[in-house]
Amino acid sequence: LQSRLQTFRPFRAATHQRRLVVAKSAANKVDAKQLLDVAKKAAEKGAEVVLAGANKAKQITRKEGNDVVTDTDHAAEAVITQVIRDAFPAHAILGEEGGVLGDVRSEYLWCLDPLDGTINFSTGYPSFCVSVGVLRHATPVAGCVIEFIGGGPGGVGDWKTRTFTAYRNGGAYLDGKPLCVSRTKELRDAVVATEAVYYEEQWDGLSKLYKAFTKDARGVRMSGAAAANCCHLAMGVIDAYWQYNLKPWDMAAGALILEEAGGRITTTDGLAWSVFDRSMLATNDALYEKVLAVTEPATAKMRSAGADLGTWCVPKGYRVRGGAQLD
């Protein structure tokens, strides 16, 4: 993918704003409500597996760096994948653990994080989530996030769940009740979320951002799960969320939920965003420019220092290329 990607909701006029171009074919278009029904069913099946494993001994394997994966991640992704393949055998699937499955020539790409917040899960630290989102080309059109909260000493106890859902232009909901972002207007009154993740080539810029928001915002919070952060923003319990190096499965469902709750999302330098971007800034509308004033110059410095903030994780052959916009 040579060009930068852009979703179709313009947020900020700029001379450097990008245009997303995608292949278009209306012949296989699926109703968004139907996609959401399947996303929710798949997430619920995955959540059953996660709940069954929450109070048991974990089989933990080390991945890249300090990241880990458990047997529950793999088991949950398997059942989620099966639900989707049964419903839409011609669609493509991108799973955190299983990679790419199905026909990448499809208009639809399902992005699965069977256990977002695996480190939290492995120690019994809330929260962690099951996240199932589906893109049409590069645009999220339906998604479901099931968050686990509660637990007990040693991570063993009474785990509860809450279910976040959204489909494009259909609003966002928590257990069936409408969601709306906060109305916070000033950074000094804002609770800002991010995650502390070490990247050598970005660390100087990241550490300065941590310092700036810790100094100027009311508070900074780290949940350990990107999908949870997006949903917490949609609930209005936090006011902004910025992050670098997220993957499509981290954001496909949560980004749609926060957008449908009235949230605003771009890259950290103010360009229109897609799930394939490596930087993300999300806020309510009133706070956006004030948070961007912090992240935009920091991102520019990272780029000038050689940090790679281009698009990534686009499945080879998937239809994000020259063509018409979505109808």
* For residue 203, pLDDT beyond 90: no
* For residue 16, pLDDT beyond 50: no
109, 144, 110, 111: which is closest to 129 by C-alpha?
Answer: 144
Q: What is the mean pLDDT of residues 251-257?
A: 98
Q: Mean pLDDT in the chain?
A: 88
Place of tokens 């088991």: 75
At 55, list the tokens.
């109070």
* For residue 160, pLDDT beyond 80: yes
What pLDDT is stored for residue 17 in this prediction?
41
Q: What is the mean pLDDT of residues 172-200?
A: 95
Percent of the chain predicted with pLDDT > 70: 89
Between 13-17, 171-175, 207-211, 215-219, the lowest mean confidence (pLDDT) is in: 13-17
* For residue 96, pLDDT beyond 60: yes
pTM of the shown model: 0.88
The helix/strand/coil state of 199 is coil
Buried b / exposed e along 108-126 (16+ C-beta atoms within 10 A):
bbbbbbbbbbbbbbbebeb
- State the Cα–Cα distance between residues 92 and 123, nearest whole angstrom: 33
What pLDDT is stored for residue 12 in this prediction?
37
Q: pLDDT tens, 272-310?
A: 999 999 999 999 999 999 999 999 999 999 999 999 998
Q: pLDDT tens, 162-182?
A: 999 999 999 999 999 999 999
Name the residue with higher pLDDT: 152 or 311.
311
- State the Cα–Cα distance between residues 158 and 51, nearest whole angstrom: 10
pLDDT confidence tier of residue 83, bands split at 50, 70 and 90: very high
What pLDDT is stored for residue 22 in this prediction?
35
pLDDT confidence tier of residue 205, bands split at 50, 70 and 90: confident
Q: What is the mean pLDDT of residues 230-235?
A: 98
* For residue 259, pLDDT beyond 50: yes
| Contact present, 287 and 263 (Cβ < 8 Å) | no
What pLDDT is stored for residue 198 in this prediction?
80
* For residue 126, pLDDT beyond 60: yes
* For residue 45, pLDDT beyond 60: yes
What pLDDT is stored for residue 139 in this prediction?
95
pLDDT confidence tier of residue 105, bands split at 50, 70 and 90: very high
What is the dihedral sign for C-alpha 272, 219, 129, 177? negative
Q: What is the mean pLDDT of residues 88-115?
A: 96
What pLDDT is stored for residue 28 in this prediction?
77
* For residue 190, pLDDT beyond 90: yes
